[in-house]
């Protein structure tokens, strides 16, 4: 039978050296003291020489031979841990998910929490960007999936609708148009705040209202909300991103005579999603169903 130095030998030997005795080593390793003693005896049988000196009333100490073995034990233990870490990393799966700020901030936290409980070995790497660029990155295989919010008529080919996501025009409670039914003429000369001037909503809103309206970028969703509260501007946000403020009446949704442009949450993939990506998409769907 081949006799080899084992990782358990190295771990126990190093623990006795670092913690000053068999009892302290057992406590540090979280194992029984008898297990430490048996492992040391196994090591002695392997080496054909004692590895500890046992003196009455005192903790066992390492012999000179055992001390000489310490650097080799450390190297073997390090190699074992590196090999295990490499295998764990190799077995980890990553989902490269591209999305926009509003989805990342308001829709993904809950399904991601549930997903990480179901798939703890899977990393979800989120990239924030503009809708068109995210779709292009999926086509270039730089992302596995993109979740975007835009004109629902864009859903075709490898892009499909996950859920409608109505737009809201929001104002401060004391705004002149709050509580009335606004026409497009009422809105034609107003200032509108969008999270991003290059985002999908810019073209939709410009076509719906007309070129006389002033469309400005607030830089972020929070920027839109703060801007609305501190000016006479009208904010443009998806319903889910402003639901909390509308419920609290800190912001008010405008009643408009004509329906706003149809907007949806869209899913773009290069191929039919398989687990675990399919699981993540299903959890997002459940969140959307609950929100509506």
Residue 1 scores a pLDDT above 50: no
Report pLDDT for 222: 94
pLDDT tens per residue, range 109-158: 999 999 999 998 888 999 999 888 999 999 899 999 999 988 877 655 55
**Fold of the CATH domain 167-259:** D-Maltodextrin-Binding Protein; domain 2 (3.40.190)
pLDDT tens per residue, range 232-284: 899 999 999 999 999 999 999 999 999 998 888 999 988 777 778 889 888 98
What radius of gyration, in Å, describes the C-alpha atoms of the chain? Answer: 31
pTM for this structure? 0.64
**Fold of the CATH domain 7-91:** Arc Repressor Mutant, subunit A (1.10.10)
Q: With pLDDT > 70 as the criterion, what percentage of the chain qualifies?
A: 92
Report pLDDT for 91: 52
Question: How many Å separate Cα 169 from the centre of its chain?
Answer: 30
Equal fold, 7-91 vs 167-259:
no
Q: Which residues contact 211 (CB under 8 A, 6 or more apart)?
A: none
Return the domain boundaries, the chain: 7-91, 93-163+264-291, 167-259
**Fold of the CATH domain 93-163+264-291:** D-Maltodextrin-Binding Protein; domain 2 (3.40.190)
**Average pLDDT of the residues of the chain:** 87
97-105 mean pLDDT: 93
261 versus 83: which is more confidently predicted?
A: 261
């Amino acid at each position: 039978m081949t006799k080899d130095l084992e990782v358990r030998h190295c771990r126990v030997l190093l623990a006795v050296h670092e913690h000053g005795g068999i009892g302290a080593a057992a406590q540090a390793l979280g194992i029984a003291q008898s297990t430490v003693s048996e492992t040391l005896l196994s090591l002695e049988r392997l080496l054909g020489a004692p590895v500890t000196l046992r003196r009455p009333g005192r903790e066992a100490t390492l012999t000179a031979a055992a001390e000489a073995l310490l650097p080799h034990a450390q190297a073997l233990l390090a190699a074992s841990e590196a090999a295990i870490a490499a295998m764990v990393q190799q077995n980890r799966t990553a989902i490269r998910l591209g999305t926009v700020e509003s989805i990342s901030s308001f829709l993904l936290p809950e399904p991601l929490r549930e997903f990480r409980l179901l798939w703890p070995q899977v990393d979800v790497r989120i990239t924030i960007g503009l809708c068109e660029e995210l779709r292009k990155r999926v086509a270039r295989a730089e992302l596995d999936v993109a979740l975007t919010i835009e004109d629902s008529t864009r859903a075709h080919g490898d892009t499909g609708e996950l859920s409608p996501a109505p737009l809201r025009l929001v104002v401060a409670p004391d705004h002149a148009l709050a509580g009335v039914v606004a026409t497009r003429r009422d809105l034609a000369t107003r200032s509108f705040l969008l999270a991003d001037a290059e985002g999908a909503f810019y073209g939709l809103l410009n076509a719906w209202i007309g070129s006389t309206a002033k469309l400005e970028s607030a830089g972020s969703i929070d920027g839109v909300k703060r801007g609305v509260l501190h000016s006479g501007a009208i904010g443009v946000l998806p319903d889910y991103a402003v639901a909390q403020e509308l419920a609290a009446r800190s912001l008010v949704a405008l009643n408009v005579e004509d329906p706003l442009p149809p907007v949806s949450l869209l899913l773009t993939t290069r191929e039919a999603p398989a687990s675990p990506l399919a699981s993540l998409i299903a959890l997002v769907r459940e969140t959307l169903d609950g929100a509506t």
